Chains A and B, each alone.
Chain A
């Protein structure tokens, strides 16, 4: 599985309240959630994400509330993958469970500039900044997590595995 997209960068400790403010938690349709993705920090984010982007974050990305609506809003706004120095654990699990790829990559935020063209190869565990030529080798995700992502999320994975 591979993804490509231009980088949109954020800093450290990006919490799920800025990714998707609490007042929108009553929305059920993920496309409605997507209209408010990152509203706390950048109201223009949904327009930028539409083309299909790679979010590059700092430390502790996705901290705070367990709201799964946060990764859902990112995914449906056009985010193909989130790369960060580190993730808050609930966000990390939620993202995988809804089929949004997330990879921890030390040094990524200093190496990548806004707008750089990024390619990610999940099986190989490689990340490339095509714009500046820098590349990273990261710890590969466990195979069952890659399977969940390939299936598009935990529910599809469970449906498939419970049929066996």
Chain B
């Protein structure tokens, strides 16, 4: 079996499972946030069960519309706070957490070998820690609140073998954009995307999170990386729970895969996803004269300390171009504090960028930094759909933190490698 099959077999009390088989799995942790939680709370009340199945396994995180930008949003937050209080759930309120997919692993809710569901499509991020994690809707979340179980079809798996070393200013974001461009927006529907190979073993936890985070953009049910020493180091001090033996989670040598993609990143250059589909990917070097009004570095895809360091390295001592609103949003309070200690906030602020408090922000066009008709944004987030970041007549280009930082300085979408070569 591969790692995903092993986790689903264990969760459903079986010794083996096969792709296509429907299993009834025990859920280890469920997460809801301020935009999906209220519908789940309403649905849960209708089921008529007084208490959630296990209050230690339900996590509430306020991150999408925070701080409340409207009375309606404030009411949704109030609903979630009350539910958390009544049910005695762990809640990460404003100022206490940050973006759900960063907070969940930081606070020790994500452990290798577990089944995690979240009422958010980017729940697949947690596969970076060797967990089976997938997004669900609000009604389904309510059903999990009541039962602690979920039916799942065991997915076929795609093995993505990666080797080679990243060139300067080429990042895991460029790799995942390249993979999505190759497989297509529907290229992994219902499937598991398992990242393997020397590049993945050398990759930071932050990079693995970026890869797994965007697997949903090719339709995958989950993205996953086998846990290793780096996983163990990340989790140290974040959880008091016993970790499983990682050996038992590794994909067997004879594990079955529907297909294998071999990727050598030696020659990979910075990549861009053009509007308005995430698989519309081309090298940044082919970009011609695309002026931007907004540059955004943040989100559950690229708001981690490693991303901010890379952006700061490019922006240090420089000024963002007049006419480019540059928003920097650390993925969590922990990331914010670390950036503060390292002097990154000062670098960004001196450069003329606006550093905002940790939130999903402009990524989903709900709150902070929306786009007007005819405007263009270059963004480290994960979606460039029509209307995603505000007006449906605005354009969103997706790129790495290095590319967005370089573009903020020039006012045009810029390949960071070419910018450095010109120095």
Contact = CB atoms under 8 A, between A and B. Distances in A.
A18 B325 CA distance: 25
16 contacts: A13-B185, A13-B277, A17-B364, A60-B189, A64-B217, A66-B123, A66-B137, A67-B137, A68-B39, A68-B138, A90-B216, A94-B138, A94-B140, A155-B46, A158-B47, A158-B143
A89 B192 CA distance: 12
Contacts of B120: 65-66
Contact of B387 (A21, A26, A90): A21
A93 B219 contact: no
Contacts of B47: 155, 158-159, 162
Interface of B: 22, 35-36, 38-39, 42-43, 46-49, 64-65, 70, 72-73, 76, 119-121, 123, 135-140, 142-143, 146-147, 185-186, 189-190, 216-217, 219, 221, 277, 364-366, 370, 383, 385-388, 390, 392
A88 interface: yes
Contact of B365 (A22, A88, A97, A155): A22
Contacts of B277: 13
Contacts of A66: 36, 119-121, 123, 135-137
Contacts of A77: none
Contact of A97 (B46, B137, B388): B137
B398 to A, nearest CB: 13
Interface of A: 12-13, 15, 17-18, 21-23, 25-28, 39-41, 59-60, 63-69, 86-90, 93-94, 97-98, 142, 153-155, 158-159, 162
Given A39-B392, A64-B216, A86-B189, 14 more contacts: A15-B385, A18-B385, A22-B365, A25-B364, A27-B72, A28-B76, A40-B387, A64-B121, A66-B36, A66-B135, A88-B219, A154-B139, A155-B43, A162-B49
B164 to A, nearest CB: 30
B135 A17 contact: no
A162 B73 CA distance: 33
A17 B386 contact: yes
A97 B137 CA distance: 8
Contacts of A153: 139
B219 A89 contact: yes
Contacts, number: 138
A90 B190 contact: no
A159 B70 contact: no
B67 to A, nearest CB: 14
B137 A94 contact: yes
B114 to A, nearest CB: 19
A67 B366 contact: no
B139 A94 contact: yes
A90 B388 contact: no
Contact of A90 (B70, B137, B364, B390): B137
A155 B40 CA distance: 10
A47 B138 CA distance: 27
Contact of B65 (A26, A27, A89): A26
A13 B219 CA distance: 10
Given A28-B38, A159-B48, A93 B137 contact: yes
B190 A89 contact: yes
B135 A90 contact: yes
A93 B65 contact: no
B387 A18 contact: yes
B139 A68 contact: yes
A155 B383 CA distance: 31
A49 B38 CA distance: 27
A17 B387 contact: yes
A88 B139 CA distance: 17
A138 to B, nearest CB: 16
A17 B142 contact: no
B14 to A, nearest CB: 19
B185 A97 contact: no
A155 B35 CA distance: 19
B390 to A, nearest CB: 8
A158 B139 CA distance: 11
Nearest to B43: A155
A90 B136 contact: yes
B385 A64 contact: yes
Contacts of A89: 189-190, 219, 221
A149 B227 CA distance: 39
A154 B70 CA distance: 31
B383 A17 contact: yes
Given A18-B387, A22-B364, A86 B186 contact: yes
Nearest to A18: B386
Nearest to B49: A162
